[in-house]
Amino acid sequence: MTHTCAWPDCSLEGSFPAPKDPRDLRLRQYFCQTHIREFNKRWNGLEGFHPDDIFKMQNVGPSWDKPTWTVGVSPTSEAAKSAPFANADDLFDFFQQRIKQKASPSAAAPLVLPPDVKEALVIFNIEQPLPAAPLKKHYLALVKQHHPDVNKSATAEEHLKRINVAYKILADYADRA
């Protein structure tokens, strides 16, 4: 769909969208490259607003009174309703579980690991995340075993890349735990 430049007395093609009204940013007008620059220099998104209106917009929260939801999840889906940290109680329970695990790991519920950490554990052929020092030793042993200079396999380079990524994931996870 082609548009004509909205600048007065310009008949060039308008390829660059711009807001038409500060109060309704969904309304669009289109400008050519020359005039979009001029429009942007002159645009004042708060033009026509009373200072009280601006103050109200700033104090309704970071979403400026627009609905928000978890990225990639429809707000009406079951996943959104059961998303981690869906409310303050979930957040509190999460940290309570972590505190219990640190206090007495044997009495705590099994650690729920993110999918990327689980995959990294499979690559490292271990069952639970290791502390940083033993993890590094295990990593160095795997690198020596699977390095393309030592292991002349056709897939050695790719496998070493997976080991490096897995190490980064597990090291980050060990730092957070």
- Bigger pLDDT: 149 vs 7: 7
Contact, 66 vs 25, CB < 8 A? Answer: no
The secondary structure of the chain as a DSSP string is: ---B--STT--SB--EEEEEETTEEEEEEEE-HHHHHHHHHH--TTTT--HHHHHHHHTS-TTTT-----TTS-TTSHHHHT-TTSSHHHHHHHHHHHHHHHH-TTTSPPPPPPHHHHHHHHHHT-SSPPPHHHHHHHHHHHHHHH-TTT---TTHHHHHHHHHHHHHHHHHHHHH-
8-57 tens-digit pLDDT: 999 999 999 999 988 887 899 999 999 999 999 999 888 888 888 888 77
Per the structure, how many domains does the chain have?
2
Q: Is residue 83 part of a domain?
A: no
Contact, 170 vs 135, CB < 8 A? Answer: yes
Q: Is residue 2 part of a domain?
A: yes
Tell me the C-alpha distance between 53 and 21, whole Å.
16
Burial of 124 (0-12, 13-18, 19+ CB in 10 A): buried
What average pLDDT does the segment 92-111 reach? 53
Instruction: Give pLDDT, residue 6.
Output: 95
Does the model's pTM come out above 0.75?
A: no
% of the chain exceeding 70 in pLDDT: 69
Instruction: Give pLDDT, residue 34.
Output: 94
Q: Is residue 81 part of a domain?
A: no
Q: Is residue 42 part of a domain?
A: yes
Q: Is residue 30 part of a domain?
A: yes
CATH code, 163: 1.10.287
Contact, 101 vs 108, CB < 8 A? Answer: yes
Range from 17-21, 92-96, 147-151 carrying the lowest mean pLDDT: 92-96
Q: Is residue 59 part of a domain?
A: yes
Residue 75, pLDDT above cutoff 70: no
The domain of 146 spans 115-176
Q: Is residue 41 part of a domain?
A: yes
Do 60 and 119 belong together in one domain?
A: no
Residue 172, pLDDT above cutoff 80: yes
Q: Is residue 84 part of a domain?
A: no
What average pLDDT does the segment 81-93 reach? 51
